[in-house]
Chain A
Amino acid sequence: DTGVSQDPRHKITKRGQNVTFRCDPISEHNRLYWYRQTLGQGPEFLTYFQNEAQLEKSRLLSDRFSAERPKGSFSTLEIQRTEQGDSAMYLCASSLSSSGYTFGSGTRLTVV
């Protein structure tokens, strides 16, 4: 297993467009997390899945954001009608227990 994979690594989009990111966790990990990290800041929690169930969502996750994890495997994060304030690094992480994560390399989104 090669760790947590995120695709794409970089995405440039025009304001108002929709974007979708994918995360492939470590195969045996049942927990999956999405975080958003703006430049020079610490990551902020967005949402958490245990298997296919989305169990927690941050209030940062506005109605333009939606995340899914069908069949408890890979996950997607979609942002509709992107705004310049959505420009950030979107990090995915997975874990088997609550005591340790493996992070992916992130998807850097630039909204122009």
Chain B
Amino acid sequence: AQTVTQSQPEMSVQEAETVTLSCTYDTSESNYYLFWYKQPPSRQMILVIRQEAYKQQNATENRFSVNFQKAAKSFSLKISDSQLGDTAMYFCAFMKHGASNTGKLIFGQGTTLQVKP
């Protein structure tokens, strides 16, 4: 079975600074996706960034980038130039990839990020 662990329940960062959220996972699969989702207070969950395990290059989406270490099973999210609108709960998630994949996501416990002015 796959597990996803986020060991930082809460973090804070000053506006315009950089922050890194940690995520580790455990799987015996060789082909999978990893995701970071953002859930603002009382709002719907939205996809921040996605990484395919077979790709060595780390994914980047504007101010958001990941550090994917496959051997270490680590998948951290770096937010650069933090903005007040980045305040949210962030979830790391795992999905198996392949012909039999149902698309089920396994989520971590989440990290609450507060960006301070």
Contact = CB atoms under 8 A, between A and B. Distances in A.
| Range class of the A interface residue count | 20 to 34
A95 B110 CA distance: 22
A48 B107 contact: no
Interface stretch (A20-28, A68-76, A98-106): A98-106
A43 to B, nearest CB: 5
B109 A42 contact: yes
Nearest to B89: A40
Given A42-B91, A42-B108, A98 B44 contact: no
A102 B101 CA distance: 17
A104 B107 contact: no
B103 A41 contact: no
A33 B110 CA distance: 20
A45 B106 contact: yes
Given A40-B110, A42-B108, A95 B44 contact: no
B2 to A, nearest CB: 11
Contact of B47 (A31, A43, A56, A100): A100
A91 interface: yes
Interface residues of B, number: 22
Nearest to B42: A105
B105 to A, nearest CB: 7
Contacts of B105: 33, 35, 43, 45, 101
A48 B110 contact: no
B110 A41 contact: yes
B103 A48 contact: yes
Nearest to B109: A42
A104 B46 CA distance: 9
Contacts of A43: 45, 91, 105, 107
Interface of B: 4, 33, 43-47, 50, 91, 93, 95, 97, 101-110
19 contacts: A33-B103, A33-B105, A35-B105, A41-B109, A41-B110, A42-B91, A42-B93, A42-B110, A43-B45, A43-B91, A43-B105, A43-B107, A44-B107, A56-B102, A91-B45, A98-B95, A99-B50, A99-B95, A105-B44
